[in-house]
Amino acid sequence: AEAREWYVRAVEANPYAVAAWINWGVVEGKRGAWAESERLLRQALAVRPESIQARANLVTCLDGQGRHTEANALRDGQGSPKP
């Protein structure tokens, strides 16, 4: 919970802090909060669409939700990082 609070404060202070969005998304994914993780990672991609790290973590998140077709398309560069 402590890390999550830090990331909340970080993105409140700077909504363009892509690393904070990504790391917060990873924390949520590790907790099994896949929908929240996905939302945060998509926000990271909205801020920086070319972020390979955000895209890779979103693929992991989608796989974690059993959305393998969508994850594979995103991994192959054919899917959209937008919901």
Give me 11's structure tokens: 């993105």
CA pair distance 41, 24, nearest whole angstrom: 8
Sign of the torsion angle spanned by Cα atoms 13, 15, 19, 23 = positive
Question: What pLDDT tens digit does each residue of the chain (83 aa) get?
Answer: 688 899 999 999 999 999 999 999 999 999 999 999 999 999 999 999 999 999 999 999 999 999 999 999 998 877 666 66
End-to-end CA distance of the chain: 26
**pLDDT computed for residue 72 by the predictor:** 92
**pLDDT computed for residue 79 by the predictor:** 66
**pLDDT computed for residue 3 by the predictor:** 86
Enter the pTM of the model: 0.89
